[in-house]
Amino acid sequence: MILVNNNGDEEHAFWPLKHAAWNGFTPTDLVFPTFLLLVGVSLVFATESRLARGVAKASILRNAFRRAIILYLLGLIVNSFPFFNLGTMRYYGVLHRIAACYLIASILLLIDRGWRSKVAVLVACLAGYWALMRFVPVPGYGVPTHAVPLLDRDGNLAAYLDRSLFSANHLYERTRDPEGLLSTIPAIGTILLGVLTGLWIRTTRPLATKIRGIALAGAAAVVLGLLWNPWFPINKKLWTSSYVLFAGGLSLLLLSLTMFLVDRHPGGEKDTDRHRSYPLLFPFFVFGTNSIAAYVISELLAGGVGSIRIAPHSNPLRWTYGHLLAAIPSPPVASLAFSLLFVVVCWIPVYGLYRRRIFLKV
């Protein structure tokens, strides 16, 4: 996420490092849903561990509310830093969506720890969102596929609700927001895919069976997403139901591959220091143990440094790219070099936190 959010030159960046403009999919569109899916996986382990220690469900629920509130407030800080202008403050965002989905998934898991109810809610979220976007008339536009094209950029129900709640100054794309209110419904489906995966991993089945099951589920989800695509296009900015299945399926395939490559080494699932056996994993391990802190640091760094003016139309980030990296003959390579440099700069303070055993657990 740090890499793709900080291209040196968005126009000339490599295609895989840019979001799809509207309908369609790029590797970048896989980042956020994978993170959200892994939140669901982690949620199962954390909740079951606390229940096994005798922690009351009411206490776990209070903690979930507290975490969701903190995540939402962190989202406001990230979106508004360094000026905190109430007139342009964005109330939607990445951390806001994670907070909402995490809280709802926590409640569902505490109500019923079985898998059937999660499947039912998952199907209801995906089918219900499709029905809302397909059949509900959009005021000022009409019924999708009749008076207005399905998933019209501004003439869709999600965009209309965002504009009804907030003025253009508060929306990321002025007329709509990619983390808007209505599209949180299918995003709940994404985290529930993670919850179902976590429940599967916690079973007593052999590791090979778990890996195979996750891979098969991932492949099935990808196929279902592609089959649904002609009628409900894959669209990250609207988090369409086909996008949930397609991106979620790819995330599950990557998870199964990771488990196959890493969890099968001597020590199996009980080994918690695999980065010592795989030194190349260490930089990712540092980021992974403090993922929220890493994301917040990257956003605050980009916002803070980007707000410093060293010329009428320049800041230290633009200066670095324009004077140090833009000399690289290939603009896409130059853009990638800037992104990688930014990732390294962000990794340094996160590594400092890791060395001091400081982990932002919210």
pTM of the model: 0.93
What are the phi and psi torsion angles at 90 (to 5°)? Answer: -95, 125
Mean confidence (pLDDT) of the chain = 93
pLDDT value, residue 279: 79
Cα separations (Å) of 278 from 265, 284, 285? 10, 11, 10
Q: In angstroms, rounded to a whole number, what is the distance separating the alpha carbons of residues 95 and 42?
A: 16
Q: 3-state DSSP call for residue 142?
A: strand
186 touches 241 (CB < 8 A): yes
**Mean pLDDT on 124-142:** 97
**Mean pLDDT on 134-147:** 95
**Mean pLDDT on 226-240:** 98
More confident residue, 327 or 49: 49
pLDDT value, residue 273: 59
pLDDT value, residue 196: 98
Question: Is the Cα dihedral 174, 179, 181, 186 positive or negative?
Answer: positive
Q: Residue 329 pLDDT > 70, yes or no?
A: yes
pLDDT value, residue 306: 87
Q: Residue 262 pLDDT > 90, yes or no?
A: no
Q: In angstroms, rounded to a whole number, what is the distance separating the alpha carbons of residues 296 and 72?
A: 12
Residue with tokens 């976590």: 198
More confident residue, 275 or 129: 129
Instruction: DSSP for 298-349, please give it.
Output: HHHHHHHHHT--SBTTB-HHHHHIIIIITTSSSHHHHHHHHHHHHHHHHHHH
Amino acid residing at 213: G
Report the residue count for the chain: 362
